[in-house]
Each structure stands twice: as C-alpha cells, then as structure tokens.
Amino acid sequence: MIHHIKSWKPILLITFHLGLVSCTDTLIGDEGKLDEDIYLNYQTKTELELPFEEEWYVFNGGKTHREGAHHFTTRGGGERYAIDFVIVVDTEISTGILRKIHSGDGRQNEDHYCFGKRLYAPGNGKVIEVVNTIDDNQPGTINRDQPGGNYIIIDHLNGETSILAHLKKGSIIVSVGDTVVKGQEVGKAGNSGVSDAPHLHYQLQGTSGELEELGLPAQFLNYYEDDTHVVRGELFRNQKVKKH
C-alpha cells in the first residue's frame, strides 16, 4: 500500500506506524547472523532488470524503517524488502518542489500517471501463479479481501521468485506454466488489492531452505538513477529510476 503524495484523500496507515517507532533506521527481523549473512549482505542470483520502461519513482524501498514501509507489516516476512513504484511529475512552487502522482484531483485511476503502464518480466523464469480478475479500487479505498489484487509470481528456478502485484484487472497476458524471458511484457500497472492508489508493488522472495518465503534485497542491473548509470544496485526511497 502507498499513501498519496499531495493527494486528495491521504491514507494514514504508514504515517501511523512511523509514529510508533523510536528509531526509524533500525532494521527489522532476526538479530545477529541472520541479518548480517542473509538480509544485509544477500547477493541476488537472478539477473534482474527494472520491470518498466519509463522513469518511475521509488515510493517505498530500502533496508530501513524510514525507506521501506513494508518492514512494518511483515516483521521479516516476504514483503520485507518490497518496493513500491509510482510515476511522478515534479512542479516547482514557491516553497520547493511539488511531487504529484496524478493529474487533477486524482479521484479516478486514469488520473494517475502510472495507471495502465506496461510492465515486464524482471528476469527469466516460469510463471507459477496468476490472479487477473480482481476489480481495480477507487482511489482512496482498498480491498482487504484480496491483498495482492491482480498479481504474477515468476519462479526464477534458482531459489528466488519475483512478485508483481496490484496490477490492472484483465491486463495480465501470461498464464501459469508459461516460460518468460527478461523484458517480456506481462501486464499493466493497476490499483487492485490492498492499494489505495495506482502503483506497482515488487518483491523478491526466497523459495527454498532457510530463505523460503523470506523477502530478499533485490539488486538490479544496468539502470539509470537520475541520469547516472548504475551497473548493479539496490533501490531506495525517493530515487527516480529507469531502464534506458
């Protein structure tokens, strides 16, 4: 879930949790060796690329409370290092920069810059789960009955899976059992499930052994952050990133 940036009806869930934490830079999860060897120093096996073409903004992402709101909802589970992406348009105003995720009042999904944008497989693998029939929410509301909304799970066949969630109803064009290659179109960004505004939720997750069902840091290859080329890197809140 995300809450709006300068939007008409902000959702307060993330803000509420932040207020309960005394040290926003503390890492969540098991202490000691597990954090150091798996969470902090984990090296992604899959050759991942960003799952979109245009420049997107990292709304939530990173290894700390401050950067990654999903830490609060999972306590070390599958969403631990999940990333929320939106498209923003910056407007200069007298007090600084107004960063907007939609045009107009944002009351319609179509007002949001990322709604309906094409999404691509971040890495090679096999599609193991698809949901494609969940209605998109009216902005400002959520669907708690189907938390992921419309989503795709890609098994990278190396102990890692990618999950792309909250997609637009009926937009997913791959099926369970399909083999996909990095960069292949799979669906479109939407606003389904536990989502109060259109965005893409991405998470990398372990599938076996001690990593099973644990959210993992995702290192992406060959992308641009604010026009600076990054050969391999992790994404953090407030970055603007694009593939080309």
Residue 116: closest CA among 199, 190, 201, 197: 190
Query: Distance (Å, rounded) from C-alpha 116 to C-alpha 207?
Result: 30
Residues in Cβ contact with 10 at an 8 Å cutoff, skipping those fewer than 6 apart:
3, 4
Pick the residue with more confidence: 199 or 37?
199
For 142-196, what is each residue's pLDDT tens digit? 999 999 999 999 999 999 999 999 999 999 999 999 999 999 999 999 999 999 9
Strand partners, 160: 206
Query: Distance (Å, rounded) from C-alpha 62 to C-alpha 158?
Result: 23
What's the pTM value of the predicted model, to 2 decimals?
0.84
Pick the residue with more confidence: 214 or 131?
131
**Residue 150, φ and ψ in degrees, nearest 5:** -85, 125
The predicted model gives 208-226 an average pLDDT of 86
Query: Distance (Å, rounded) from C-alpha 76 to C-alpha 192?
Result: 24
**% of the chain at pLDDT higher than 90:** 64
Q: Work out the mean pLDDT of the chain and round it to a whole number.
A: 83
Which pLDDT belongs to residue 30? 43
For 38-55, what is each residue's pLDDT tens digit? 677 889 999 999 999 999
Pick the residue with more confidence: 5 or 106?
106
If you average pLDDT over each of 6-15, 31-40, 196-205, which comes out highest? 196-205
Which pLDDT belongs to residue 25? 38
Residues 134 and 165: beta-carbon distance below 8 Å:
no
CA dist 138 → 12, 107, 147 (Å):
17, 7, 15
For 85-103, what is each residue's pLDDT tens digit? 999 999 888 888 888 999 9
Number of neighbours of residue 169 by Cβ within 10 angstroms: 17
